[in-house]
A and B are shown apart, each in its own frame.
Chain A
């Protein structure tokens, strides 16, 4: 079945550091890929998405590129801020045509940014 693997946390960085959170996936078809973020005390929010190979999703300074050849969707940001501290989830959704529409999530990466 489908699966998503992302780097274990917590990841602790200093403010203005470069961020990479790795995400790889296993799917039988052509999934759409997502990054969700959960800020402290808040619900999950969609951060960015990509629906086909080589697409780049971007939002709030974060970027991720759908790499079919490496089955990856790594999240990057050039200069992190304390306000980026949150838990980040990589997810996929595969269109099987049978109607199943649930997202498959990774376990989440807790990011801590220190001033």
Chain B
């Protein structure tokens, strides 16, 4: 079946602009995760959603970052007033339930000029 998909695959934006990144999880997966991978760094956990529970936002780096998920489907990660240090690959993953294997999407490569 289809895997996790993300769009856009690449995004170039100017400093100060807002960007929205999209993730389509595997159908039926109740848990969804966002990670960030900056150049030369490991993946940083940002936020996760489980069903209709309140999301765990413990990894969000600042209040410019927010994420939403509609039910158990699509999620969007929004970065407001982008800064150059936001340049990174943003990865989304989903799993059938919490604490099960996470399946990753191909990522969105964000470049803030």
Q: Measuring CB to CB, which residues of chain A are less than 8 angstroms from any residue of chain B?
A: 4, 36, 42-46, 49, 89, 91, 93, 95, 99-108
Contact = CB atoms under 8 A, between A and B. Distances in A.
Nearest to A99: B56
Contacts of A4: 42
B42 A108 contact: yes
Interface of B: 3-4, 31, 33, 35, 40-46, 48, 50, 53, 56, 58-59, 91, 93, 98-99, 101-107
Contacts of B4: 43
A103 B107 contact: no
B105 A43 contact: yes
Contacts of A36: 104
Nearest to B54: A99
Given A49-B101, A101-B99, 12 more contacts: A42-B106, A99-B53, A99-B56, A100-B58, A101-B48, A101-B50, A101-B56, A102-B45, A103-B33, A104-B45, A105-B43, A106-B42
A43 B5 CA distance: 10
Contacts of B31: 101
A44 B59 contact: no
Given A43-B3, A93-B99, A95-B99, A103 B45 contact: yes
B42 to A, nearest CB: 4
Nearest to B103: A46
B107 to A, nearest CB: 7
Contacts of B42: 4, 89, 105-108
B56 to A, nearest CB: 5
A102 B107 contact: no
